[in-house]
Amino acid sequence: MRLLSREWLFAFAGALAACGAPRDSNDPALDSRASSVASMAPVDVDEALEKCDARWAEIEAAPALAGAVTVDADRVRFLGRARGALEVFVRDPQPTALTTNEQALRDAFEKEPPGIRVARFIARHKRERPLLRAMFLREGYLFADNPDDAFELEAHAKLTDLFDAQKLVLERGEDTFELELKPGKETRYVVSSGPIAGATATILFGDRIREASEAPAPALHRDVVSLSEREGFDRMEVLRRSDAALLVRARYGDTWVRQILASRGPKLAVECSRETADVRARVEAFRADTAWRRRAGAKMREAITALVDDALPFDRPRSETGPDKDGTLRPYWSSAYLRGQRSFKVDDDTYAVYREDGRAWPPSVCVDFVLDAYERASGSWFAPLGEHPGRSKGRLDFSSFGIENRRGVIGFFQFAESRPDLFAFRKFEGAERVPFAQRDRFFAFLTEHGEEVHAGDMLAIQGLKRDGRVHQHAILVETIDPLTGFAAGLADHMKHPRRRTWEGIMAEAPQRSLLFRARPGDVLVRPLDPQSTVDSSAPTTTASTR
């Protein structure tokens, strides 16, 4: 309940004096009432709420910004197709002014089918970097008004197609990366500083890019995902946008709160919560109780980044074109690794044990990737070249729970179904098995069932592929869009580990649909928290491999 302000009390006292017929100043009844009011104890003022009320009104009085109109209106379709579409824009980035010749090319481009027209245009104008920048960068942002175009831009637009400057600056969410052109067999841009220095740089939908010599313009994007991961809310409704702040409703557990999110460029921070003290206390209690989950989630994202950066080879012999021998290489790799060898042979083909930079390079299948992400986040991974071969003992080892087949999709998910003490399991059946070919229905199902898919969930998809056979595949959910509840950020291992969207994973076999969901319980997630003392692994030697 909101506390009464002193101003309200004064008004109430005045109303008592004015109500009813005029009374003499010596009227005993009036004296009694006045005495009663005077004897009331002072009521504390919720100064934090009043201050937030005033700030909220100030932002509401300022002109509102419209956001990215087409992307906001069709957000799920963008999320389902294009990596990078998770940001919120305060307004649409404006198209680059075109010359007469460029406008003619733009007009012809607009008449072609969305999606494929992007790849065609890039192929036709491969060396015309200023033209490609004018077509596809809006105020520096890689941007499109159509979700099919957004997917194709993210898939086909390379930084080297757009620029040849020696140094670039790329903004993605609240992060900024310095890039440097690296000549070689294939010229590319690499990250030149920070924790991922040396990594090949890519550009995603919604990224902003400029030459390092150019001064930055005010950012139009806001990183709501990073904020949600820091603060602990899982849903958010944007009520108003301005250059300086967003007015939102955010959900912490079961509690919805109105908040002002101050923006420092793309980075957001909670300025205040426009709620009573008891509601604010409830939110802080929830955040304190779930802090371990946020730390565990951060370690999971770090592990996914490491697995993607390692670019582990898919566990299929080179001579095989089908899946019949998937998973056969890792035992050979393990044997060679433990013996200190640099390579091993299978069917006259030679495979590397380590990457060129000395990192261990175990062949992996899709379920390996999902389980390795959890175990690596808990501190378990293979020692690099130059150290004693073996897998460090983390605080989580799925094998310690008696999994008979931890490398097969069906085998692992059957195990998950049999262990309700470890997993919250869900099987998709009947009408829920919407094939990805029906994209709008597939995306609608995910949105309507957003409460049933969380970050960290393990998903299995199944369906016919082009070879006429039914295939299964495992996917790890990394990111949920806080605005829609849509599972937008996925990670998997197909050919090599990647972060992808539904379109990126399922378009090659659109008859596949959701089959299982396994959500690891607290006993499997707590070991990922670096501050946790929970160890869910059985005693193993440092030389063990899987």
Residues 215-229: tens digit of each pLDDT: 999 999 999 999 999
The domain ranges of the chain are 6-39, 46-289, 296-528
Backbone phi and psi for residue 245, each to the nearest 5 degrees, phi listed first: -165, 165
Count Cβ neighbours within 10 Å for each residue of 257-295 and write b for 16 or more, e otherwise.
bbbbbbbeebebebbbbbbebebbebbeebbeebebbeb
Q: Which two tokens stand for residue 369?
A: 């990737």
What tens-digit pLDDT sequence spans the chain (546 residues)?
A: 333 333 333 333 333 333 333 334 344 443 443 344 344 445 568 999 999 999 999 999 999 999 999 999 999 999 999 999 999 999 999 999 999 999 999 999 999 999 999 999 999 999 899 999 999 999 999 999 999 999 999 999 999 999 999 999 999 999 999 999 999 889 999 999 888 888 899 999 999 999 999 999 999 999 999 999 999 999 999 999 999 999 999 999 999 999 999 999 999 999 999 999 999 999 999 999 999 999 999 999 999 999 999 999 999 999 998 899 999 999 999 999 999 999 999 999 999 999 999 999 999 999 999 999 999 999 999 999 999 999 999 999 999 999 999 999 999 999 999 999 999 999 999 999 999 999 999 999 999 999 999 999 999 999 999 899 999 999 999 999 999 999 999 999 999 999 999 999 999 999 999 999 999 999 999 999 999 887 877 544 334 456
What's residue 26's pLDDT? 42
Contact assessment for residue 363 and residue 315, using Cβ atoms and an 8 Å cutoff? yes
Residue closest to 375 by CA, chosen among 241, 525, 513 = 525
Instruction: Measure the CA–CA gap between 393 and 382, rounded to whole angstroms.
Output: 10
DSSP 3-state assignment of 229? helix
**Quick one: what percent of the chain has pLDDT higher than 70?**
90
Contacts of 100 (CB under 8 A, 6+ apart): none
What's residue 6's pLDDT? 34
What's residue 108's pLDDT? 97
What's residue 20's pLDDT? 38
Q: Which pLDDT tens digit goes with each residue over 483-537?
A: 999 999 999 999 999 999 999 999 999 999 999 999 999 999 999 999 988 787 7
Contact assessment for residue 137 and residue 95, using Cβ atoms and an 8 Å cutoff? no
Instruction: Measure the CA–CA gap between 113 and 163, rounded to whole angstroms.
Output: 26
Per-residue DSSP letter, 378? T
Q: Which pLDDT tens digit goes with each residue over 71-89?
A: 999 999 999 999 999 999 9
Backbone phi and psi for residue 42, each to the nearest 5 degrees, phi listed first: -60, 140
Q: Which two tokens stand for residue 382?
A: 């293979």
What's residue 43's pLDDT? 53
Q: Return the number of other C-beta atoms located less than 10 Å from residue 207's C-beta.
A: 25
What's residue 195's pLDDT? 84
What's residue 535's pLDDT? 81
Q: Which two tokens stand for residue 2?
A: 């909101």
Distances (CA, A) of 96 to 102, 103, 115, 393, 427: 10, 10, 20, 54, 48
* Sheet hosting strand 255-264, strand order edge to edge: 235-241, 245-252, 255-264, 267-273
Given CA atoms 480, 482, 485, 486 in this order, what sign does their dihedral have? negative
Q: What is the 3-state secondary structure (H, E, C) of 288-317?
A: HHCHHHHHHHHHHHHHHHHHHHHCCCECCC
Instruction: Measure the CA–CA gap between 389 and 337, rounded to whole angstroms.
Output: 7
338, 340, 342, 344: CA torsion to nearest 10 = -50
Contact assessment for residue 92 and residue 66, using Cβ atoms and an 8 Å cutoff? yes
Q: Which two tokens stand for residue 322?
A: 């089908």
